[in-house]
Structure 1
Amino acid sequence: MTLTPEALVAAVAGALAVSGALIAVVGLVGTTSAPVARPKGPLERWLRAADGQDGTGPLSMWADRRLLVSGAGGAGLLVWLLTSWPLGGLLTAAAIVGMPWILQPGRGSKVQILRLEALEEWVRRLADIHTAGISLEQAVASSVRSAPKTIAPYVARLTSRLASGWQARLAYRAFADELNDASVDSVAALMIMHAADRGAGLSAALRELAGQLSEEVLMRRKVEADREKPRTNFRWVSLFCMGAFALSMLSGAYVQPYNSITGQLVLLILAAAFVAVLVWMRRMALTKPAPRFLPPADRDLGEPS
């Protein structure tokens, strides 16, 4: 039996239709089991680390850009049918999906700076609230409504963990895990130490820490400005190479050798080499984050009390 493109498209369409029906049933009926908190395994931690500090990596891109992924699938299928190149359709879809990754190489660092700036503002508000004589946990709960929008969901989850009976040290470490930044570890470490001894002077320590965060934001903005030129070069080189590839596909005589199986394998090797060069160039244009010093909260087997 010969597998034709039409038969493969029909099989994929049938699988997608069945999957869509199952998802629709689950969405309408729902599930009865409540979600159970569990420690993350090494593979899940690696995937989240590969996804980036800010949720701008491949996993978040799949979740946040479903329309882009759907359009890429349609464009890839169209290229496959027009050129009879299965690999050509796959490369087209991959290029479209990876376009935000190419056009915004520094987006993750910029988002992290905005979060750090919001954290500095939130820490200053915590210092003012705690001056009134209430506990740190009460100050955190009182700051939810006034927390900057950039970190408001993280502060809300921190408050929920504290209110639901989590140990304070685990709740603060989980807060640091979500923001995933060495500077956030400093804030969480101060809160953990205060939760252990309840000593005086927390407001003054929070204000001093907010000043350090402000200096960190200024320094990171300067670094980002210096990195902007190599990022611009990375974008133009990537777009030029992909444009040249797209135009070459219109030349029948030039791409004739790629019609065979051997030609498709060669094309796959060239595409893999091109992607490797893109990854290398992108890493050169990114700033390596400082290593964190707090261990992940899920490594501690002491569950919320």
Structure 2
Amino acid sequence: MGRADEDGDAAVKLSLESLAGAFCGLVAVLGLILAIAGLMRRPAPASRRRGPLERKVRTLLGLDNPDSRRAWWAQDRTRVLGSVVVGIAVWPITGWLLGAVLVTVALLGLPWMLQPGKGAKNQIVRLEALEEWVRRLSSIHTAGASLESAVTASLRTVPKPIQEPVTHLSSRLKTGWPAARAYEAFADDLDDATADQVAALFKLHAQDRGSGLSTALEALAGSVAEQVRMRRQVEADRAKPRTNARWVTAFCLLIFGLAVMSGSYTEPYSSVMGQLVLVLLAVCFVGALLWMRSMAASRPTPRFLTGVDRTGSGEES
């Protein structure tokens, strides 16, 4: 009887140690996230343009515009709440606090893991919309309107993928931003080398106000259409490795889900060391995904209008 009591006390002690270790790991991760968020609250110099990851994090945290956070929450609320509920349900089943956290994070990142080419496809759609919008500007300007007036008039028919950047551009022009600065900020919103060409043409026209803008806009629209065609061809060539990456990811997630539900096979992960190994395996898995993505991705064409950050410009104006 005494031996049974000792074994029971040892099991309780081990369980408490595992829970404490998992809790400390969770606190460390949350502390790192808060530290990064704190660093991002510092105003960015106008000469430094924010990278895509920083802009995405700031959008999710609502550091630049609270409306962006509310829009993200309205769009992804169901997925976020569902991921949290599943993670909470996994905890009592497995007894892994960090495992529950990893399940929640995996569900939240499911679109990123299963749609490796989504960002490139969205950018192509935005460029197609930009080409259509530039052609409409050419027609409006031919009718005698100035470029600034043409931008405002185009708001009624602007394609949806670029509706927000064009609306911001029109608002900046109306509120007295220098035209050149407004066009640079427009290029930052679109964040593409092809969009820089459009903004550069707008800047040149703002400086000399010469004739022939309609012809230049029409020619530029044709150039954008050609670049869209080439990008679509490149994306078609990358479809096979991306499909392979998607299947590998789905298979690994399925195996992980089945392993979580098996009893004795995953018992070693219940200890503190097992939880740490579980986190290490998750990090290795994400690293492998990034490596597979890098094989199916190419370095984007460098932008040449990178001197003005949109938020910094607004603060300086």
Q: 2:216 aligns with which of 166, 184, 205?
A: 205
- Flag the structure with more relative contact order, 1 or 2, with Cα contacts below 8 A and sequence separation at least 6: 2
Q: Is the 8 A contact 2:46 2:308 kept in 1?
A: no
Asked if 1:51 corresponds to 2:59, the answer is: no
Q: 1:278 aligns with which of 289, 303, 307?
A: 289
Aligned to 1:162: 173
Higher helix share: 2
Q: Distance in 2 between matches of 1:80 and 1:257?
A: 16
Q: Distance in 1 between matches of 2:163 and 2:18?
A: 52
Q: Distance in 1 between matches of 2:133 and 2:125?
A: 12
| 1:156-194 deviation line (CA, Å, top 9, x unaligned) | 221111011010011111111111110000000000011
Q: How many residues align?
A: 271
Question: For residues 75 and 302 of structure 1, do their structure 2 counterparts lie closer, same or farther at Cα, with a shift above 3 Å needed?
Answer: closer
Question: For residues 74 and 235 of structure 1, do their structure 2 counterparts lie closer, same or farther at Cα, with a shift above 3 Å needed?
Answer: same
| 1:59-70 → structure 2 map (5 Å cutoff) | 63=73, 64-70=75-81
Q: 2:95 aligns with which of 80, 84, 96?
A: 84
Percent identity, aligned pairs only, is: 51
TM-score by length of 2: 0.77
Equivalent residue letter for 2:194: S
Aligned to 1:179: 190
Question: For residues 300 and 93 of structure 1, do their structure 2 counterparts lie closer, same or farther at Cα, with a shift above 3 Å needed?
Answer: closer
Q: Distance in 2 between matches of 1:50 and 1:267?
A: 30
SS at match of 2:158: coil
Unpaired segments ≥5 residues, structure 2: 1-15, 24-42, 61-67
TM-score by length of 1: 0.80
Q: Is the 8 A contact 1:158 1:175 kept in 2?
A: yes
Could you tell me how far 1:149 is from its partner in structure 2? 1.8
Could you tell me how far 1:219 is from its partner in structure 2? 0.3
Equivalent residue letter for 2:230: M
SS at match of 1:283: helix
Q: 1:192 aligns with which of 172, 189, 203?
A: 203
Question: For residues 72 and 62 of structure 1, do their structure 2 counterparts lie closer, same or farther at Cα, with a shift above 3 Å needed?
Answer: farther
Equivalent residue letter for 2:242: R
Q: Structure 1 stretches (4+) deviating beyond 3 angstroms?
A: 2-5, 38-44, 46-52, 59-64, 298-304
Unpaired segments ≥5 residues, structure 1: 10-37
Equivalent residue letter for 2:133: W
